[in-house]
Structure formats: C-alpha cells, structure tokens
Structure 1
Amino acid sequence: MQLMDLKNEGIDIKKNIPLSRFTFTETGGPAEFLAFPKNINELKKLVEVTTDQTIPLTVIGNASNLIIRDGGIEGLVVILTQMKEITADIKNHYIIADAGARIIDTSEAACQAGLTGLEFAAGIPGSVGGAVFMNAGAYGGETQTTVHSVDVITRNGDIKTYTHDEMKFSYRHSLVQENGDIVIRATFALKPGDKLAIKNKMEYFNGLRRAKQPLEYPSCGSVFKRPQGHYVGPMIIKAGLQGKRIGGAEDSKKHAGFIVNVGGATATDYLNLIHLIQNEIKAQFDVDLETEVRIIGKEKD
C-alpha cells in the first residue's frame, strides 16, 4: 500500500503544507506529507506504511516548544492534535489523556475531578505527548512526578506500555527521546484534593505566567535549559543581549529566556539569534547553553 492510498480509508493526508501554520513561533518550512490521525488505528496504519516504504516519519504534538527549520521536513509529518480524548478514573485517582490532548486541558480535567498534582501544567501550552517526551515542567512541578504509565507505538507498529520507572525521566528528558517510540496516551496518578484549592493554585500559576512571560507574541516558550548553578535570563541580561533582534526574532524584553516573533520572523532568524546568545554566554560566562526547544527539519536550499 502507498501512503496516499490511506486517504481512501478516511485518513487526513495532505502534501506540501507549510508547517508555520501549526508552530507556536509561526515559522517553519513545508511538510512533504502531513497527516492528522484521529485515533490509534489510523496512527498505526501510518507508522506501518512509512516503515514498509522507508519513508521518514516525524511526529509532533502541539508544536509549542519546537522550531522547524525553513527547509521543512522530508517524508511524513504526523500531527496528533486530533487524538485528544481525556477521561477521569476518579476511583483510582487517574487521569488518562491521549497524546494530542493539551496538557492545559488535562490539568483542567484533573481539577474538575477533584484530583491534585497537575496544577503546575495549567498554563503549559504543549500536548500530553510533548509533555511526556520532554518531561515538561513549570513552577516546581514536572511531568514525571505524576506519570503512572505511558502507552506508545513503536516504529514497527507494536503497541506497548511503559511504567513510570521504565520511562527514564530526567530533566527535560525521557526514554522516548532515545528509542523513537511514539507516545499515544499517558495515565497520570494523582491525589484527591479540594477543587477550589486546586483551581486557585492553577489561577495563581497562570497569573505568574501572564505577568512574567511574553504571551502577546508568538514564541517557542523557554528556549534554553537551565544550566546547573545559573539562571538563563539574568545571564542574557548581563551580557547585554535582552532585546537583541535578528530579522523578526527578538530576545524578549519581558523575559530574556524567551525569543519572540515580533513580525515576519523565519526559523533561520530564530536559530541565528540562539547561536548568537550561546556564543556570547560562552564567551562572557564560560557557560554552555543547551536548547530546551526541539529543533528539527532541514535548512532551506
């Protein structure tokens, strides 16, 4: 079976679509093929066809902490945002969420079920799959603290489940970054709590986010990992780089750890500014800044 034959089975597949339509930076080149599976069965078919035909396969979620280079991505790009079911198992204190569900919505579902533990994620714009993949965190919380198990599909089309310990979580890292498995669902183990207290905590965190982060501009969120013993934003400010602009990409005047699209930015603008900041921080402080944002795709010809 050919990839485009799957359209006849009701799978939404498109050709040569700009990925800037889907990234939070509003940048990125085209996908050679782009698919939006609605369920695990459709995803499984896409994985199996690309494996059979040796077509490169790239899976992304909400594209909130992602830079796609201006040359785009060869092969098939799968966006999981239509796989977004969230259910509550109140008896066992679980929230079960599909990979394409927003982690914000998952946090809200936990609140409505009177379950505490996901308040830190109330403002994280990524998907559940992305949060698990990156071990996303904010305000002292991390995804790993709540994950009970993760369902994945391997690149051979097999479905398996990892326990929390098997996921090898660490700072902004998980097992699926190493083995290429695709997160399809996560089960979060939470604790009973007071709905009002949970809601108040979520609103408090979102208030901090609005006050400190440049939410008025497109961005990929926090760009750099926090180096041990240092804070990224203050180093960038001390280096005189806050407000630095290359093309339409600017180091945020509101939060120096963010790079925002102030108008017409390209992925190349973003990457050039990232490299400039990395080089200056290394020169001035002898600190190697690693990117937290995921960078994929090819350079533009």
Structure 2
Amino acid sequence: MSEADKSGFAPEWLELRERADAAARAPELLRPLREWLSVQAPAAARDRLVIRDLGCGTGSMGRWLAVRLPGPQHWILHDHDAALLAHAERRLPPTAADSKPVTVTTEHGDLAHLTADALAGTSLVTASALLDLLTPDEVERLADVCAAAGCPALLALSVAGRVELTPSDPLDAEIAAAFNDHQRRTDIGRRLLGPDAVAAATEAFQRRGATVLVRPSPWRLESAEAALTAEWFTGWVGAACDQRPDLAPHATPYLRRRLAACAAGELSVTVHHTDLLALPRMPSGPAS
C-alpha cells in the first residue's frame, strides 16, 4: 500500500482547513470506539493506547482525538513528508481527556510497509482525508492488516462526491461531476477511489468480520471561513478543468464571479465528507 500523492497538501493548506475539519468530524463515533477499547481490546491496550496516525500531515487528527480519549496514549505518526512529521510531533497535546500523559514518535516513509506485524500492539489506526486517495487494492490491504492485527480503524473526512453551493449556479453540477471524475483518475498507474472509497472500505472491513459505522462529516463553510472557501473553490475548479479542459473557457468567468461572491460574504458551501469506524470482530474467548 503506497501512500497517495500529497504534493498539494502544503502545511499552509492543512492549517487553513484544520478548524473546518475539527468542526466536521463525527464525534458520535467516539462512544462506540471508547466502548470497544475499554471492553474488547487486549489488556495491554487498555493500560496504554497506542495510536497510529497514517498520513498524519500536520497532526490535526491527533490534536482533535487525543484530548477526547481517556488514559495514557502513545501516538505513532506516519507520513512521507519529514517536515510535516516534525511539525506534527511538536504540536500533539501533552495530555489526554483525563490528564493522563500523551507521548509521540514518528515514522517517516511509505505506507507500503505497513503490515499486521507492524501493527502488533496497536490499539487504533487513524487517518484523515486519506482514504479517498487510495486504490481499491490499497483499501483491501489496509482492511486486511487491521483485521489480522485485531485493530480498529477510524478513517475520517473522506470525500463523498457531493457539494452544495448557495446561491446555485448553472455550472455547479458540471464542475462537480468533472471534479469527481478527477478524484477517480488513474494517477501514475494507480486508479484512485475518490468518492467511492467509503463504500469500498465498508465492504472490505465487513468481509473481514468488522462492524462498520459511517457518519456524515461535512464542511459547512460560511463567511467566517472565506479564506478556506476561496482556496478550496479554486482547487475544486482547477481539478475539474484538469479532468475536462473543455470546461476552461466557461470555468474562468465562473471562478471569478464565485470568488467575488465569497469575498462579499455571499457564498455558502457544504462539502460533504464521511467518517468511518471499523471495529474488529469480537474474539471468541474472553479478552486477555
């Protein structure tokens, strides 16, 4: 499983989206996760959670989740970008929800080397905005290694392929369709799942006996998020035009008037995402 290309995920973009990400994440998945960790996880995991954050970026998942889970925690941050890893390591919260200590280490490199053996002793695998950048084979492999290790997975903020803009524009649907096709593109020989990723992951984990819960986690961007809206919208239209160059003559004035509306506080955007929690099959015998 190779980590998807994140060349467009500059630290500035990740910082810009963090507040919207935090507001969007599905907190209702935390209760079943806490229950699983407190009852079904091995005793060692209940003594100290070991959490592996795949494609961690600047560490926004750790900053959101560490303070919402009780008990001592050790986070292992994975990313192929050493600068992002260093940034994330410095900014993880020092304490958990119950003031127990949180420690952190980093692993620099490709996720292709993630195996069930590597996950031994891991209490939880997490990832944000990564699932939709994977291929069908990579999703199958992720489900496989998590199942083999008996490890739950919390996979947040996967694109759902739906965007709502207010007020609407006649070109919205065509841009959205082209963007979704771009998300499903073949990239350096890899066919990305894009908006199909959550369905593929749900099926993959369920085939391995996991209980899978999915919840919506939409960005709701109003005037207070104008900078994020403008940056996202520019990238959204750009990707659509990359996929369909014939859209460019119409997309240029479309982008201009939409950005003007954004700057005036007259554009609202809902970008739909989905959070997924996969809980491994309950062991046949008592937990030890």
Q: Is TM (by shorter chain) over 0.5?
A: no
| Higher helix proportion (structure 1 or 2) | 2
- Under a length normalisation based on structure 2, what TM-score does the superposition of the two structures give? 0.27
- Under a length normalisation based on structure 1, what TM-score does the superposition of the two structures give? 0.26
Higher relative contact order (CA 8 A, sep 6+): 2
